[in-house]
Structure 1
Amino acid sequence: MAATHDRPVSLSNRDDLDELVADHDRVLVEFHTEGCGKCKAMEPVLSAVARTTDAVVATMNPRDDPVLVDEYDVRSVPKLMLFVDGELVATREGEVPSVDEVQAFVSGEN
């Protein structure tokens, strides 16, 4: 299924996350926090990835649904999580990768 969004989708809770992952074949989720400089630097990277890959790209502050912090073992942000066919298949955290690096991560070439 081709991505239906050409920019990141903002999620507000676990139900939003579960629904998005269930509805799309490939989903890239970035966990971020308010005031995080690295997270802010990810915005143009994620926008470019949303426009150039088949993945649906989403962002979420896990503090909005604190259970997610433990469930996804969030130790630092930004944290990227790749879901394929509803399953979490890869994570990457605490750095600001380039557009090319995130595209490779999404396509499984990491």
Structure 2
Amino acid sequence: MSTDASATDSTPERPVALESEADLDEFLAAHDRVLVDFYTEGCTLCASIEPVVGNVARAHDDLAVATINPRNDPPLIDRFRITSAPTLLLFEDGEVVGRLASGFQGGDAIDAFIENPGGDE
């Protein structure tokens, strides 16, 4: 699945599947706050977190959510230091402000991460 231009015109209510680094850059440019789920095919934790990420997308009006398999575009792995899957990155104005790479996370943990991506600093 790839995005079309209309998918980035407003904050989508469900995660948008992205295919490439160019798609991701376009998505980041179109939205102020973005949560990206970096996943891999065959990853059971990734499959388990997918519906949770969908619920998060519906619960946050000011947050656009996308999913991408970095193996489809390997430069993403180095660019965002993806060392495990799933990895959730929170972006504000195109910049990474938070990273959650602790395996499966429930909705409450992801909500807390979105509200306080730097932890209790």
Q: TM-score range by the shorter chain?
A: over 0.9
Aligned-partner residue type, residue 22 of structure 1: A
Q: 1: CA distance between counterparts of 2:51 and 2:106?
A: 10
Q: 2: CA distance between counterparts of 1:79 and 1:95?
A: 8
Matched, 1:90 2:104: no
* 1:68 CA drift (Å): 0.7
Q: 2: CA distance between counterparts of 1:86 and 1:69?
A: 17
TM-score of the two chains, using structure 2 as the length reference? 0.84
1:35-75, Cα deviation, whole Å (9 max, x unpaired)? 00000001111011000012111000001110111111111
Report the RMSD for the aligned CA atoms in angstroms.
1.2
Within a 5 Å distance, the mapping from 1:73-88 to structure 2 comes to 73-88=81-96
Q: Which runs of 4+ in 1 moved over 4 A?
A: none
TM-score of the two chains, using structure 1 as the length reference? 0.92
When Rg is computed on C-alpha atoms for both structures, the one with the higher figure is: 2
Unaligned runs of 5+ in 2: 1-9
Counterpart residue number, 1:106: 114
Matched, 1:18 2:21: no
Aligned-partner residue type, residue 57 of structure 1: V
- Percent of residue pairs bearing the same amino acid type: 47
CA contact (8 A) 1:55 1:106 kept: no
Give the count of matched residue pairs: 108
Within a 5 Å distance, the mapping from 1:1-110 to structure 2 comes to 4-53=11-60, 54-108=62-116, 110=119
Unaligned runs of 5+ in 1: none
* 1:107 CA drift (Å): 2.1
